Structure 1
Amino acid sequence: MAGRQEMRSEQLTIKHMATKQEFVDFVIDQIDKAGEITARKMFGEYGIYADGKFFGVICDNKLFIKPTNAGREFVGNVVEAPPYEGAKPSFLIEDKLEEREWLSELVRITVKELPMPKPKKKKK
């Protein structure tokens, strides 16, 4: 058809690398002094919890922690990035993953400021 313009949408291709279990185990080991740490597989990545409170995600072999005022004060200059497309920015922890005490303290500070999870409603 002459005169008709073709409309094309461009799609941005984002390559995702699935998180390896070894990395999840490493992170959990690094922060084990921050409470009872658990990781739950969610959409191919992992949600991480301390004493039942959701505080971060492990996505593409990177650790993201929910931003809090106390956490920001503790960390100082911090890189913030969304763990996945459409997510709110979180603290991206890369440089200090080897520092167990520092990392555990950041998790403790963060979890202390986060609200308790809402109780799940019983199914009828």
Structure 2
Amino acid sequence: MTTKKYADFIYKQTKGVYNIMIEQMFSDYVLYKDGKRIGVLYDNKLLLVSTENLNKLFPNAVQEKSFDWGYYKLIYIEDTEDKELLEKAIRTTYDDLYFQKDFVIDISYLFKVNKNYSDTIEKIYDLHITFLRFCYDKGLLKINPIDKQGRILHMRFLNNDLTENGTKIFNELHHKWLIYTDKNDGNTSERIGNVKMLEKYYSAIIDKIDIQK
């Protein structure tokens, strides 16, 4: 059994992590980040799913034997007073389990949604040619998704397809680009090829998060 007092303490220690949630399950609690399970609070102990990088953070952590969570192995995080280390442990567990496999964009889904609008599909395709080429040139994508004929080779992109800088920039840049190009007027063709606007958005994001261009 885990007390609410202990659950509240762990939440307080980890609330600096984006989208963290602790949900009661019978007499104990499940720990979630972005809606995905990363650990449990069991008998007033914090147990996180054992991953390669988490074990590097806690090389002496003990594997928990008394809690069965299917094929997951759990380790006991004894030091819960160090808030910074605890938040790092949460992020590390999530990243190892889920982050690299998370979808960033799925262009084919946009085609599916607009399947009855051929002009819109053509526009979506063309604006993504501009966007993906720009992202590769800026070192945000690991592999060039555009072939020599200017055709898109890959429609679905995971975090694993992004470089380190790409994981920090790609999603926000894509969102801004979609908003900018979401207009149908006499300037549509010019807009979807406007690399200068992409450069402007890119520079603003770079300055905000303070990384090297």
Larger strand fraction of residues: 1
Q: CA deviation at 1:83?
A: 4.8
Deviation string for 1:16-53 (max 9, x for gaps)?
A: xx211010010011111222211111132110111212
Tell me which of 43, 49, 56 is aligned to 1:73. Answer: 56
Identity of aligned residues (%): 30
Mapping of residues 1-124 of structure 1, within 5 Å = 18-84=1-67, 86-87=68-69, 89-94=73-78, 96-115=79-98
Amino acid in structure 1 at the alignment position of 2:64? A
Larger helix fraction of residues: 2
| RMSD, aligned α-carbons | 1.9
Q: Is the 8 A contact 1:59 1:83 kept in 2?
A: no
Q: Distance in 1 between matches of 2:63 and 2:45?
A: 12
How many residues are treated as equivalent by the alignment?
A: 98
Q: Secondary structure at the match of 1:35?
A: coil
Q: Please give the TM-score of this superposition, normalised by the length of structure 2.
A: 0.43
Higher Rg: 2
Cα distance change on mapping 1:34 and 1:83 into 2, 3 Å: farther
Q: Distance in 2 between matches of 1:52 and 1:58?
A: 16
Q: Distance in 1 between matches of 2:18 and 2:62?
A: 25
Q: Which aligned segments of 4 or more residues in structure 1 are displaced greater than 4 angstroms?
A: none
Q: CA deviation at 1:61?
A: 0.7
Q: Distance in 2 between matches of 1:105 and 1:115?
A: 15
Question: Unaligned 5+ residue runs, structure 1?
Answer: 1-17, 117-124
Q: CA deviation at 1:60?
A: 0.8
